[in-house]
Structure 1
Amino acid sequence: MSTIRLFYGRDSAEMKSRLEASAKSDNLVSTLEVRETVLEDEVIDSIVALIETGNVETVQLDDCGAYLNASAISMARALGKCKHVILSEPTFLSKFFLESFLTSATKLESLKIQDRLLAPQVEALAKGLKGNATLHTLDLSRSRIENVSALAQGLFENKFLKCIKLRSVGLHDEEIATVVSSLCGHPVLEFLDLSFNHLRDTAPLGRLLQSPNCRLSKLLIGYQNLWQTPKTNISSIVEGLKENKTLRNLGLANNKLRDDDTDLLVTVLKESRSLEQLDIRENIFYDRDMVNLAEAAKVSRGLKKLLVVKNPFGSEGSLALLEAVQENLGIIYLDVCYSDSIHQQIHYNTALNRGGRRLLLERPKPPLALWPLAMERANNIDWGEKFTQNWGQQESSMLTDPRIDVLYHFLQKSPVIFEGMLCET
């Protein structure tokens, strides 16, 4: 499978010849990218013929113009036979084109649009969403949406979307509330990204998490535009998580969260029934805050990944995090740097957790059958060159095979495990 890229500088005859040759070639084309060029009718017809072969899965039309005529309509209908479409150009985002494209789409799974969408275009998009049963991912990141109410209505009437991305769209509280309210009770929505907007009030998101049919597993609301304005209030999300049983990934990076949010996040870590990843990077948590969060992480039932870099905590907070990954064997990733020995030990312990430490520390003693599984996990650990260069004073042989590192750990920390196994053999 190959990719065809048609960029600025190619004339129509050359593009047509290349497309026709690809349609007849045994080297199947899976991706077509067209950027910064004007498409004549003969080129569009060749693109349609290539798509009709049934092998093209992804088409990207970026800043490439065309006339709105019969050829453009044939292109719109052909695009509906692709799985993934990326549009970033006014011609192929016109009301006329969008209606023909979305209403005729039969295989479309993901649609990414990046441009300014005027009210008629948003209405056409909403109409297409209403009747489409194959689309599962809609990405409008970095667009500007003139009629948010129309979009919300389209989202409300579509019951098949699993992923909605609205990053950096310039949405404020009222607009976000309109969109989120339309998603309450959505039967299959799993991923909602509202990062890089102007969110302050999370009450609508709290209601979404509490809705009986909520299936949301990933919610990203980091990096809100907080210049000279109050920070995002996360209390409603915390309340929602007390009842929610599906959310696994919560992104709160760079939202000016500080000490008065610590208790809320402690509640999340202790009480959430499903949370596996918490991203609180680039906030304002000091040592005392991180100590409290680490204590909660120790007893978190599902936590696997905790992202905390670029918070102003020091060695006290780092030691608390080290203790958390040593006691909670489910934590397999904690994104501290390699700046000192404490952080190196954190990486070492999370690597051991990924290597199956939980299995091998079962009591009264782990069965021999678990050892091959744990060694296989350890062998797949990405220890990293920097890690092996900096870790401890072990012999070089300890660093050439990560399985030896795991064995070394258990010989050092829990020799009784090996005694039990010797008895079995």
Structure 2
Amino acid sequence: MDAELDAEPPCLADLNDDLLRKIACRLAESDLASAVALKRCSSRFKDLATPLVANAVSRINTKWRDAADKIGMKGAARIRGGLERNEVLTTLALPHNNIGAEGAAAIAEALRGNAVLTTLDLSGNEICGIDEDGDGAYDASGIVALADALKVNGVLTNLVLRRNNIGAEGAKALASALRVNGVLTNLVLWGDNIGNEGAAALASALRVNEVLTTLNLANNQIRDQGAAAIAEALRGNGVVTELDISWNQIGYKYNNIGPMGATAIADALRVNGVLKRINLEYNKLGDEGKGAIWDAVSGRVGFELRI
């Protein structure tokens, strides 16, 4: 018995060819980046996995090239450049490329079944047809397509959609995805005009989501009602460690969380022991609200409060 406990786990070289092929096949379907990495570090694995990995890489990169064709201009150049420099794309940053709803839908199609990309930044791309000044005609097709892709994508962990004016409808679509997505850990929706309705939808998703650890909802016209919904979600959420709902005071674009919302958040912080960082700067919390929040986190070692 002791000998079994002390035995070292088998390494890659100890596995037979049949088992290595099965591992290669599974990784090619679910975690292609790991398959590519293993192929580079083991000549035997490379011999067995190359055909499987090559086929998977070809399928995924074809989807990215199709997306590039639909996006056009600078965004397409970034995608093609990334494919030229890397066997597979693990990070794609396309901020401020004006890809619009159609471009977002094209990227969403590439994300379906994608077993490689872990980070996607589409900041400032008018993916719902509305620019940063609020001009344009709203089109939810792009954000809905992205949300639908998140429901089946098992690799993407970091999604940044700053300044896209996705609105409440877009937030609801993402909330629906968060209910079933089991990998996304960081979601940034800074300046997306989701309002109380969108905040409530995302809060509802947080009650069942077990993986999202960082959520940025700054500058979203969220007021007391939305803050209360988020606070209620925090009471039962055991995974979110960082929450940003700052910049809620200046001008019509910003949130306006007042004393009532602050008190609700304070009550939630008293029972939530997981959250480590919260940003509430530039909100009209009032002295009473600020005091309640300070009291709620008093004595919590390592807690970062920005207020």
Name the TM tier (shorter chain). Answer: 0.5 to 0.7
Q: 1:162 maps to which residue?
A: 118
Residues in 2 aligned to 1:287 and 1:170: alpha-carbon distance in whole angstroms: 33
CA shift at 1:277, angstroms?
0.8
Q: 1:208 maps to which residue?
A: 177
CA RMSD of aligned residues (A): 3.1
Contact 2:75 2:97 in 1 (8 A): no
Alignment partner of 2:298: what SS? Answer: helix
CA shift at 1:301, angstroms?
2.5
Q: What 5-or-longer segments of structure 1 have no aligned partner?
A: 1-101, 107-115, 337-425
Residues in 2 aligned to 1:166 and 1:185: alpha-carbon distance in whole angstroms: 19
1:231-255 alpha-carbon deviations (Å, 9 max, x no partner): 6622221221111111111111011
Contact 1:244 1:273 in 2 (8 A): no
Residues in 1 aligned to 2:229 and 2:293: alpha-carbon distance in whole angstroms: 18
Consecutive aligned runs of 4 or more in structure 1 exceeding 3 Å deviation: 119-126
Q: What 5-or-longer segments of structure 2 have no aligned partner?
A: 1-56, 62-69, 129-139, 248-254
Q: 1:118 maps to which residue?
A: 72
Q: 2:49 maps to which residue?
A: none
How many aligned residue pairs are there? Answer: 217
Higher relative contact order (CA 8 A, sep 6+): 2
Amino acid at match of 1:220: V
Q: 1:335 maps to which residue?
A: 306
Contact 2:234 2:272 in 1 (8 A): yes
Residues in 2 aligned to 1:170 and 1:221: alpha-carbon distance in whole angstroms: 13
Q: 1:134 maps to which residue?
A: 88
Amino acid at match of 1:335: R
Pairs within 5 Å for 1:294-313: 294-313=266-285
Amino acid at match of 1:160: V
Residues in 2 aligned to 1:174 and 1:232: alpha-carbon distance in whole angstroms: 19
Classify 1:330/1:246 alpha carbon distance in 2 versus 1 (closer, same or farther; 3 Å): farther
1:247 aligns with 2:216: no
Q: 2:191 maps to which residue?
A: 223
Residues in 2 aligned to 1:120 and 1:154: alpha-carbon distance in whole angstroms: 18
1:141-173 alpha-carbon deviations (Å, 9 max, x no partner): 111216423222112242111111111111113
Alignment partner of 2:198: what SS? Answer: coil
Amino acid at match of 1:303: L
Structure ID, larger Rg: 1
Residues in 2 aligned to 1:309 and 1:124: alpha-carbon distance in whole angstroms: 35
Residues in 2 aligned to 1:245 and 1:153: alpha-carbon distance in whole angstroms: 25
Contact 1:140 1:166 in 2 (8 A): yes
More helix by share: 2
Residues in 2 aligned to 1:194 and 1:281: alpha-carbon distance in whole angstroms: 17
Percentage of identical aligned residues? 25
Amino acid at match of 1:197: N
Classify 1:286/1:140 alpha carbon distance in 2 versus 1 (closer, same or farther; 3 Å): same
CA shift at 1:325, angstroms?
1.5
More strand by share: 1
Contact 1:223 1:253 in 2 (8 A): yes
Residues in 2 aligned to 1:145 and 1:332: alpha-carbon distance in whole angstroms: 39
